[in-house]
């Protein structure tokens, strides 16, 4: 029979082993969670226990992994355009603009951006606030940051930013926020780093609510454009017509040549455009064959919101249709969305 001190030592060893076995299981609900918690706690002073509690409550969702594997931007323009350029979406954008015209134009003037461009972003992103996403933002970013190797670095960074955002920029308790399968929030679908860097308090109430405050929503989109260099009244895109000898060109977001150089290479603008304006040439697969477009600096700004040229073209064309509907005479000019 072992002595009492030996029994006590055995009991202590068993307890120690039990505790050490329990701690990693608590900290590693998701692969890489412990390291992320250490970083956020170090950078913010937040309690590791509270951070772990949040992350422990998040769930990996296969539907999120499925959704990110088939983005709309993988479609050709002939299939992508009909998603966003429906008459119903155009009419809804016109009605939204008319209902809030004073606020929209006041904010556009303050930031020096296109009012119909702001509206078109909301139209493409969430149908003017009707479809802001049903996934828990925490679930989306945990799923993509910990379980999606192709872009885990990006989404892990967004998850870290989300955990570090101050309460006045969250619009509600962190574990209740909902958004897209990618973790974007609100009418303008801002990712956490965009909330941190570009979201603004448009109504002056001391907090930022991208889900319910229209001044915050509009001002944040306008500020995003302004901070990325939007040129008020500048060109966005204009249709081009190639001749038989036109040389094929690779498109890049940043304008590459003066428009007159592209004219010399066989691409003629279908509407008057400054011949010295820096431009790139974008070729899209339209419903009736290739479409050729000159794209300018403001088109590049739209691609900072979403890098796909299909997205930027949809925003441009929706904005142009909305502008025509509200009667400001901008339709067809190519000068701005």
Q: Return the active site residues.
A: 125
For Cα atoms 327, 328, 332, give the angle at the middle one, nearest 5 degrees. 95
What are the strands of the beta sheet with 237-242, ordered from one edge?
Answer: 257-258, 278-286, 289-295, 237-242, 267-269
Q: Closest by alpha carbon to 111, among 301, 253, 321?
A: 301
Q: Where are the alpha helices (DSSP H) in 228-296?
A: 259-264
Q: Return the number of other C-beta atoms located less than 10 Å from residue 14's C-beta.
A: 10
Q: Which residues are CB-neighbours of 196 under 8 A, at least 6 positions away?
A: 161, 164, 165, 169
Q: How far apart are CA 100 and CA 273, in angstroms?
A: 31
Query: How would you classify the pairing of strands 278-286 and 267-269?
Result: unpaired
Structure tokens at 267: 């691409």
């Amino acid at each position: 029979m072992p002595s009492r001190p030996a029994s006590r030592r055995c009991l202590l060893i068993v307890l120690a082993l039990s505790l050490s076995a329990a701690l990693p299981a608590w900290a590693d609900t998701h692969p890489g969670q412990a390291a992320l918690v250490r970083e956020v706690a170090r950078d913010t002073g937040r309690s590791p226990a509270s951070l772990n509690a949040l992350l422990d409550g998040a769930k990996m969702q296969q539907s999120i992994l499925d959704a990110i594997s088939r983005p709309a931007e993988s479609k050709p323009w002939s299939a992508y355009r009909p998603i966003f350029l429906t008459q119903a979406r155009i009419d809804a954008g016109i009605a939204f603009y008319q209902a809030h015209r004073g606020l929209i134009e006041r904010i556009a003037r303050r930031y020096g951006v296109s009012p119909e461009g702001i509206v078109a972003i909301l139209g493409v992103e969430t149908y003017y606030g009707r479809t802001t996403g049903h996934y828990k933002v925490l679930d989306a970013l945990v799923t993509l940051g910990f379980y999606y190797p192709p872009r885990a670095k990006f989404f892990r960074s967004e998850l870290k930013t989300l955990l570090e955002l101050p309460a006045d920029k969250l619009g509600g308790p962190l574990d209740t926020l909902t958004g897209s399968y990618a973790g974007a929030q609100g009418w303008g679908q801002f990712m956490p780093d965009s909330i941190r860097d570009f979201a603004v308090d448009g109504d002056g109430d001391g907090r930022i609510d991208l889900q319910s405050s229209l001044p915050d929503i509009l001002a944040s989109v306008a500020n995003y454009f302004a901070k990325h260099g939007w040129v008020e009244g500048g060109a966005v895109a204009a249709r081009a017509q190639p001749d038989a000898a036109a040389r094929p060109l690779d498109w890049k977001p940043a304008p590459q040549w003066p428009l007159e150089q592209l004219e010399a290479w066989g691409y003629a603008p279908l509407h008057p455009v400054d011949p010295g304006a820096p431009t790139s040439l974008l070729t899209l697969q339209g419903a009736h064959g290739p479409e050729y477009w000159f794209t300018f600096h403001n088109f590049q700004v739209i691609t900072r919101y979403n890098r796909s040229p299909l997205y930027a073209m949809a925003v441009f064309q929706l904005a142009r249709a909305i502008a025509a509907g509200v009667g400001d005479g901008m339709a067809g000019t190519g000068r701005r969305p």
